[in-house]
Chain A
Amino acid sequence: MKPTTISPLSLKRVLALPPQLRSRTFSILNRPPPNYAGHVPLTLVERGALALGSAFGSLRNPHRHDLIAALGEATAKPYFVSRLRRAMLENPTGRRILKDQPRISSQTMSLEKLRQLPDNTVGRAYAAWLDREGVTPDTRDAVKYIDDPEEAYVMQRYRETHDFTHAITGLPVIIEGELAIKAFEFANTVLPMTALSLVAVVRLKPIERKRFFETYLPWALSNGLKAEEVVNVYWEEELATDVDVLRRRLGIEKPPDLREIRQVLKDQKKAEKAAREARERLGAATGV
């Protein structure tokens, strides 16, 4: 087959090509066959519309995780998911992950077995985090809009290991925690969707926003940049590893426990409210 070089397109050149080679891009009515099960090839216009629609849709309703997933897929090409795949190929563990293509679901991750692991192991922390937050490993959508099957797998792997990142950093599923994780993932994976989701900062309460900008964002950016690529961790093999050992190996510090901070503040507010009400009642009773 004659190697085709990328030369500037002129009409004469294009018409001189045989019919098959002329259709370099496809149209809505003439989609190529899918490259893997569930693949939906999109034209550039469709991808742009999907990116816009899912961006605004997920901002309006952050519970639409499928829109966040779609946004990730629509903005991953060109370059970003390819860069992530290259980062995996440059690392021996990453290469093994790409060869084996393990999937994480409730079938492949037995939660009962994980709960029985010793405390402070990755697997135990993962199971404990899932129980604490009330989620299961089955809530991840399948990748549909990325054309290359291996890059689609990279995206799927990133999505499925998101919960492990939660587990080793200890950040909760509430919007504050998710934003901190997204900032960390942006510094670590450079996927555009992670940066775009940070727009959701406008949905935080003022005190939460202050906490985010003062503590969690700096933590996320500095740790994400200096840490190893988290996508290269073969989680299935690290389940029995000690969490502190893994964190040290990756170069991640544990951030302050967000749920604890919120609980302390909530208790403080409750105490203050009770004290204030007591004073008012006393004031009303004594007429002061």
Chain B
Amino acid sequence: MTSLAPRAAKRLRLSNTPRSVCTDCRRTFASSVRAQQQQQPASSQHARQDEKTTHFGFDTVAENLKASRVAAVFSSVASNYDTMNDLMSLGIHRLWKDHFVRSLNPGIRPTTSAQPQGQRILDIAGGTGDIAFRMLDHATNINRDTQTSVIVSDINPEMLGEGRKRFSTSPYQAAGRVSFMEANAEQLDQVESNSIDLYTVAFGIRNFTHKQKALEEAFRVLKPGGVFACLEFAPNLNNPVMNAVYKRWSFGAIPLIGQIVAADRDSYQYLVESIEKFPSQQEFAGMIRDAGFLLPGQRPEDEVVKAGWEDLTMGIAAIHKGVKPA
């Protein structure tokens, strides 16, 4: 009977088994891997003790390596990005992006315009051009503004390539109203200070290594009175029952869809983990305020952040806005 005990333990899959459980049915290969994992739980990249670390999903990596790990993820997902977005959000991401752009109302009517050259919009992490296209369509068709231009910026050249492809047959490319810039949002050296009317970042900021730095760069490049707008996933829903369902969809179905459609489970596992690690709506609004922005709906003298964001679809995503003081 005692010989059954180790096999029974294996069958039961105890998640908190002490490491001394009999492992004669496990090969040295597996136990040496596990021993290695125990010795180096903190870093998968051998970060030294004095090096700063940050999170990459649920992993911990050296700060200077996060950008390249994120780059690898997005190079790998670039070609199926839009298909995967449709599958993961069941198409709802289109509604979110439409609402995001409509609520910002880009473009200035030419007759009342004090700015005949149109608005300058900077779309950060805008790789595949979803938001940029919507902005230009809205400005042109709703506000009859044919001068507003968008700079699409992304750190990843493959994503930017997808964007270029999307715009190649559009009239905006021909009219010179869209340009592409490969840049790190934490260091926008190519953009002059006080030169942008509208800074948008949709589903990008959770991948940045230093979000606060990116927010400060946004503050620098915006004109006084310019608007910062961010569309991003929130880590938890407001309703606890829906939150439980949502979490199981995120951690179960999304990596599975990634495996089947895009042959890449790991990138989608990273994506859902990075959502989990993102600050809550209130915390993020606090970070935006710390960068110097005024939050809409919040009095500047109030300590506690109570406004500055709008929840979408029960809190799966949120739009944060800030205005640079004049």
Contact = CB atoms under 8 A, between A and B. Distances in A.
B29 A21 contact: no
A57 B259 CA distance: 11
Interface stretch (B100-108, B132-140, B174-182, B246-254): B246-254
Interface of A: 1-4, 20-21, 23-30, 32-33, 35-37, 40, 43, 45-46, 49-50, 53-54, 57, 64, 66-67, 70, 98, 101, 144, 147-150, 153
Chain B, interface SS category: helix
Nearest to B1: A3
A67 B261 CA distance: 9
A29 B15 contact: no
Chain A, interface SS category: loop
B140 to A, nearest CB: 39
B2 interface: yes
Given A40-B265, A101-B29, A29 B5 contact: no
A-B pairs, top 10 by smallest CB distance, nearest first, are A149-B30, A28-B252, A53-B260, A32-B15, A36-B30, A3-B1, A66-B263, A1-B5, A37-B33, A28-B248
Contacts of A29: 247-248, 251
Contacts of A153: 27, 29
A153 B30 CA distance: 10
A49 B14 CA distance: 24
Contacts of B26: 35, 149-150
B4 A3 contact: yes
A49 to B, nearest CB: 6
Interface of B: 1-2, 4-5, 8-10, 12-16, 25-27, 29-30, 33-34, 37, 247-248, 251-253, 256-257, 259-261, 263, 265
Contacts of A27: 248
A50 B263 CA distance: 12
B133 to A, nearest CB: 29
Given A3-B1, A3-B5, A20-B16, A43 B252 contact: yes
Contacts of A50: 256, 259-260
A24 B13 CA distance: 7
A24 B265 contact: no
- In the complex, which of the residues B16, B25, B252 has the most CB atoms of chain A within 10 Å of its own CB atom? B252
- In the complex, which of the residues B29, B251, B259, B260 has the most CB atoms of chain A within 10 Å of its own CB atom? B260
A24 B5 contact: no
Contact of B29 (A36, A43, A46): A36
Nearest to A33: B15
A57 B261 CA distance: 8
B29 A49 contact: no
Given A50-B259, A153-B29, A21 B12 contact: yes
7 contacts: A24-B12, A24-B13, A33-B15, A36-B29, A49-B256, A53-B259, A153-B27
Nearest to B257: A53
A149 B32 CA distance: 12
A46 B252 contact: yes
A143 B26 CA distance: 16
Nearest to A45: B252
Nearest to B28: A101
A172 to B, nearest CB: 24
Contacts of B10: 148
Given A23-B15, A70-B259, A3 B2 contact: yes
A111 B30 CA distance: 29
A42 to B, nearest CB: 8
A127 B49 CA distance: 48
A27 B30 CA distance: 23
A37 B32 CA distance: 10
Given A28-B251, A37-B33, 19 more contacts: A20-B14, A20-B15, A20-B16, A27-B248, A29-B251, A32-B13, A32-B15, A35-B34, A50-B256, A53-B256, A54-B260, A57-B260, A64-B263, A101-B27, A144-B265, A147-B13, A149-B27, A150-B25, A150-B26
